[in-house]
Chains A and B, each alone.
Chain A
Amino acid sequence: MATLEVNVVAADREVWVGEAKRVIARTLDGEIGVLPGHEPVLGVVADGEARILTTGEDTVRVKADGGFLSVENNRVIIAADQAELL
């Protein structure tokens, strides 16, 4: 099964990199869920929490504070001004 390649980056460092089955993030319009094969998206991330379900069935929770989310070719980038693992 295809997996998502996820990068969570903050302005001054990389917060989390890994493979995931599903990513749920909060954009200005509401929550967006990304599964492998999702169409390319560029969205503005609202303050809040993003949840990443890794291939190891773990849930990684990241607090992202303002930034954007980009999805293309099963590659998800969450770039936030400030981001930290919860």
Chain B
Amino acid sequence: MGAQQRVFKQKIRSTQSLRKIFKAMELIAASRIQKAIARSQAASPYANALTRAVSAVASESNVEHVLTTESENVSRAAVLVIGPDRGFAGAYSANLLREAEELIRLLHSEGKDVQLFTIGSKAKNYYTFRDRKIERSWTGISESPTAENAREIGEALLENFDPESADSGLDEIYIVFTKFVSSVTHDPEYRRLLPLEVVDAGEASTGGGSAESSGAAAFPLYEFEPSAEAVLDSLLPRYIDSRILSALLSASASEQASRQAAMKTATDNADDLIKTYTRLANTARQAEITQELTEIVGGADALAASAAGD
């Protein structure tokens, strides 16, 4: 076999084995999207119930709570970036980090100090590489976040949240994540987590689950047990955890969807390459055969000519 043919055969083989890997990753991602969407929907009844309860307490009683009070001088803001742990997801993490950078620039321009909290090693590496200080980071949870993860993150954020202290506490907390709209559409976006703007039930479920239209109805006069303050005290941290969880779940669904799309493209490209290389290999083979034939015919002609000359 000629050298050229061998080169093409080798390229075809390696592309084929890459293609197998891409295909496998695509299938894995596809099955995980379904799982992520299902988990996101499973969490939405809780999120809806909480949202409704929080709205009810907030709208009925004039209870001031530290988590809902707007600080007058906002000097410190925390940004929680929810990113992936692994790559191979196309522009997913690039888009997310661009959104985060935009938010950070905006906060800086308003004269606020920004503290970074990251989830996933991609976001962590991005900031470590640029010598930016990260307050705290979590890795290894982005693909299948649990309620415990959300609670831990919520606690860590709330620990530092203290708008009343002038020098050390956080005044605002933002969250940057990728919202899962559908398998093909996922938008990076940021929202303010704290101070809470108590929103309608429909607005709060970032998890992609359909929110019931319960938020619009007027709330009945609730009796609070033991008191409105106590109820709010207990509800608000949970509400925050639940919003973090739904952001985490939404981000994980988006991550898998991006990965699936990226791997689909990679598989298609591998197919194209294999086709191209196969054509080139065929051409090379035919060229070789043609050359061999020419050589044989030429040799025979020369032999015949020399035999006739004798």
Residues of chain A having any CB pair with chain B under 8 Å: 7, 9-14, 27-29, 32, 39-44, 66-70, 72-73, 77, 79, 81-82
**A28: shortest Cβ distance to chain B, in Å?**
5
At the interface with chain A, which of B40-48, B112-120, B251-259, B298-306? B40-48
Contact B231 A42 (CB under 8 A): yes
A-B contact count (CB 8 A): 90
A49 to B310, CA, bound (A): 115
Contact A42 B46 (CB under 8 A): no
Classify the secondary structure of B's interface with A. helix
A68 to B50, CA, bound (A): 9
> Chain A residues with Cβ under 8 A from B56's Cβ?
42, 70
Q: Which of A12, A27, A29, A69 touches B146 (beta carbons < 8 Å)?
A: A12
A10 to B242, CA, bound (A): 11
Known interface pairs A12-B245, A68-B231, A81-B238. Does A43 touch B225 (Cβ–Cβ under 8 Å)?
Answer: yes
A29 to B223, CA, bound (A): 13
A69 to B50, CA, bound (A): 10
> Chain A residues with Cβ under 8 A from B224's Cβ?
41-43
A7 to B241, CA, bound (A): 20
- B39-92 interface (Cβ within 8 A of A): 39, 42-43, 45-46, 49-50, 52-53, 56-57
**B247: shortest Cβ distance to chain A, in Å?**
14
Known interface pairs A42-B231, A68-B231, A81-B147. Does A9 touch B49 (Cβ–Cβ under 8 Å)?
Answer: yes
Q: B198 at interface (Cβ–Cβ under 8 A)?
A: no
**A2: shortest Cβ distance to chain B, in Å?**
16
Q: Which of A7, A68, A82 touches B53 (beta carbons < 8 Å)?
A: A68
Q: B151 at interface (Cβ–Cβ under 8 A)?
A: yes
The number of chain B residues with a CB under 8 A from chain A is: 31
> Chain A residues with Cβ under 8 A from B225's Cβ?
27-29, 32, 41-44, 69
Contact B42 A12 (CB under 8 A): yes
- Sample 26 A-B pairs with CB under 8 A, ordered by A number: A9-B45, A9-B49, A11-B46, A11-B242, A12-B146, A14-B46, A27-B225, A27-B226, A29-B225, A41-B224, A41-B225, A42-B53, A42-B56, A42-B57, A44-B226, A44-B234, A68-B53, A68-B234, A68-B235, A68-B238, A70-B49, A70-B56, A73-B220, A77-B53, A81-B151, A82-B147
* Residue in A closest to B56 when the chains form the complex, CB atoms: A42
* B220-244 to A contact mask, C-beta < 8 Å, 1/0: 1111111000110011001001100
> Chain A residues with Cβ under 8 A from B53's Cβ?
42, 68, 70, 77, 79
Known interface pairs A44-B231, A81-B151. Does A72 touch B45 (Cβ–Cβ under 8 Å)?
Answer: no
Contact B221 A40 (CB under 8 A): yes
> Chain B residues with Cβ under 8 A from A44's Cβ?
225-226, 230-231, 234
